[in-house]
A and B are shown apart, each in its own frame.
Chain A
Amino acid sequence: MDLILQFLHNTGFYLADYRNLIMIVVGSFFVYLAIHKNYEPLLLLPIGFGVILGNIPFFKGFGIGIYEANSVLHYLYFGVTSGVYPSIIFLGLGAMTDFSFLLANPKLMLLGAAAQMGIFFTYLCALGLGFTAPEASSIGIIGGADGPTSIFLTAKLAPHLIGPIAIAAYSYMALIPIIQPPIMLLLTSREERLIRMPEMREVSRKEIIIFPVVGMILCTFLAPASIPLLGPFFFGNILKESGVVDRLANTARTAIIDTATILVGLTVGASTQGDVFLNPKSVGIFLLGAVAFSIATASGILFGKFMNLFLKEKINPLLGAAGVSAVPGSAREVHMMGQREDRTNFLLMHAVACNSSGVIGSAVCAGILWSFLIG
């Protein structure tokens, strides 16, 4: 009888805490959004399932949980805390990215820079709310709308916040179709949304091959702390563009990035154990994340309008919203918004250019913030 009672005391039913149950509901909601609503399923499904997995109550001390040394999940989570997974994801991302649109219209890179203002604005807000400087930097980087970059910087500066920050970053990336359109509509007139972008010039193969080398040298000279992200990113890109190592490029953009995405999603999700995750700080991080993402979107759009004051050939300010590095969600959203006004206006390629610039921009921001705070 004692044995049965002891067994029952070790089951999840007995050990369950209301915080675990709340998180299981949250995880289930993510899974629902991923499968039923098709909201960024590549991110939300592993994270959602990870949230459920991480909140199964267990008897502590057996080396089961993600925060317990020697547990399998702990080892898998090492890729997150050490910043290994973000680098691997950036490698795959580089092997997927086509920079020809950006090379054809380099001024769109400025929109990617402008959209990073959300990071610094949120950094100030977080400081004002009482977060420490490293925590504020990690929260601010959510405005880059780049999950791997957020995880990387948080792992370096505020590892205790990885769970809420990663969840916030990925959630907002998944919620782009809900967050961005109202901001776009609010900040642009119909005439502006109808602006057509000029035909892109043809970019030579040599330009495409030279760019990753030049881009990496310039960006990493400026912010050497961004090497772990931008190094693999541009390396992946040259694998793709060189055309001589198709096998490697193909592996980087399929098997490698997929494996890293699965592991990062699952372990980040599992890191949201109710007792660790559900606290006022997490709520603050979620609110600030929403601010960061919205400000980033708005600053990109407003800078697009500002550029139009000086440009002879006007650009569609909607493109500024794609300056956040949520690839390719924000580019798709910009394109759809443009098409809502005019079915024959194709903004996708131009928005992808801003998107790729945003990826570089947010990684540079992460490097800069890290440099400032490790000193």
Chain B
Amino acid sequence: MFGLEAIAHNNGWTIAATGAGIVFAGLSALSFVISQLHKLVALLDRPPKTIVEVVVEETKPIWMPPDCPNDIQVAITLYHPLIEELPSEFELAELYGLAKKYHLPHPHLSIRCLRDAGKLEFLGDGLFRYVA
């Protein structure tokens, strides 16, 4: 048997068409799968979600040095009576002691401000005097 008759007799058309279709479908499917493979890999590579416990620490008040008294005159008014109690030449520690004794606010800072303002003149040997 030869020719088209032989092909038809052996189911040739069906086998060829089905075979070609299956190969094409199979390789197309494989092609699709491998085209998506990098997405799958990216999914696997994604770092696991971890619950990060954010510990909110109680914020301790941070000590901030207070500003110099805005008005140096106020400091002079407050400290002048103390200086009056001291000898004309005195040590800053003595003035500080008195300020603490009378509960004046920010004695250390205020004394520094008085110095910066030139109201306390340094005489040497740790002694100061008040400049009016």
Contacts of B29 in A (CB 8 A): 218, 222
User: For window 113-130 of chain A, which residues contact chain B by CB distance below 8 Å?
Assistant: 113-114, 116-117, 119-121, 123-124, 127-130
B44 near A206: Cβ-Cβ < 8 Å = yes
Give, as a whole number of angstroms, the nearest-CB distance from A109 to chain B: 4
B19 near A106: Cβ-Cβ < 8 Å = no
Mask: chain A, 198-229; 1 = CB below 8 Å from B; 0 = not: 00000110110011001100110011000000
A116 near B20: Cβ-Cβ < 8 Å = yes
Mask: chain B, 5-33; 1 = CB below 8 Å from A; 0 = not: 01100111101111110111011111111
Instruction: Report the stretch among B34-42, B74-82, B86-94 that lies at the interface.
Output: B34-42
A103 near B37: Cβ-Cβ < 8 Å = yes
B4 within 8 A of A: yes
B13 near A218: Cβ-Cβ < 8 Å = no
A365 within 8 A of B: yes
User: Which single member of B10, B20, B28 contacts A136 (CB below 8 Å)?
Assistant: B10
Closest to B40 in A: A210
Could you tell me the distance between the alpha carbons of A113 and B44 in the complex, rounded to whole angstroms?
30
Number of interface residues of B (CB under 8 A): 35
Give, as a whole number of angstroms, the nearest-CB distance from B4 to chain A: 7
A360 within 8 A of B: yes
User: Which single member of B4, B34, B44 contacts A128 (CB below 8 Å)?
Assistant: B4
Contacts of B10 in A (CB 8 A): 127, 132-133, 136
A357 within 8 A of B: yes
Could you tell me the distance between the alpha carbons of A211 and B27 in the complex, rounded to whole angstroms?
13
A360 near B30: Cβ-Cβ < 8 Å = yes
Contacts of B19 in A (CB 8 A): 119-120, 123, 365, 368-369, 372
Contacts of B47 in A (CB 8 A): none
User: For window 162-201 of chain A, which residues contact chain B by CB distance below 8 Å?
Assistant: none
B28 near A222: Cβ-Cβ < 8 Å = no
B2 near A130: Cβ-Cβ < 8 Å = yes
B61 within 8 A of A: no
A9 within 8 A of B: no
Could you tell me the distance between the alpha carbons of A215 and B37 in the complex, rounded to whole angstroms?
11
Interface of B is mostly: helix
Give, as a whole number of angstroms, the nearest-CB distance from A91 to chain B: 20
User: Which single member of B11, B26, B34 contacts A102 (CB below 8 Å)?
Assistant: B34
Contacts of B23 in A (CB 8 A): 113, 116, 361, 364-365, 368
Give, as a whole number of angstroms, the nearest-CB distance from B30 to chain A: 5
Closest to A137 in B: B15
A160 within 8 A of B: no
Closest to B19 in A: A368
Could you tell me the distance between the alpha carbons of A109 and B44 in the complex, rounded to whole angstroms?
25
Q: A129-B2, A211-B37 known; A372 and B15 CB under 8 Å?
A: yes
Give, as a whole number of angstroms, the nearest-CB distance from B93 to chain A: 74
A109 near B30: Cβ-Cβ < 8 Å = yes
B12 near A124: Cβ-Cβ < 8 Å = yes
Contacts of B4 in A (CB 8 A): 128
B45 within 8 A of A: yes
Could you tell me the distance between the alpha carbons of A128 and B12 in the complex, rounded to whole angstroms?
9
Q: A103-B37, A128-B3, A204-B38 known; A110 and B26 CB under 8 Å?
A: no
B51 within 8 A of A: no
The 4 closest A-B CB pairs, nearest first, are A113-B27, A109-B31, A120-B16, A106-B35
Q: Given contacts A103-B37, A136-B12, list 19 more A-B pairs with CB under 8 A.
A: A106-B32, A109-B34, A110-B27, A119-B19, A123-B19, A124-B13, A128-B6, A129-B6, A136-B10, A210-B37, A219-B26, A219-B30, A223-B26, A360-B27, A364-B26, A365-B23, A368-B19, A368-B23, A372-B15
Pull 16 A–B residue pairs with CB atoms less than 8 Å apart, ordered by A: A103-B37, A113-B24, A124-B12, A127-B6, A127-B12, A132-B10, A133-B11, A133-B15, A206-B41, A207-B41, A214-B30, A222-B29, A365-B23, A368-B23, A369-B19, A372-B19
What is A's interface to B at a CB cutoff of 8 Å?
A: 102-103, 106-107, 109-110, 112-114, 116-117, 119-121, 123-124, 127-130, 132-133, 136, 203-204, 206-207, 210-211, 214-215, 218-219, 222-223, 357, 360-361, 364-365, 368-369, 372
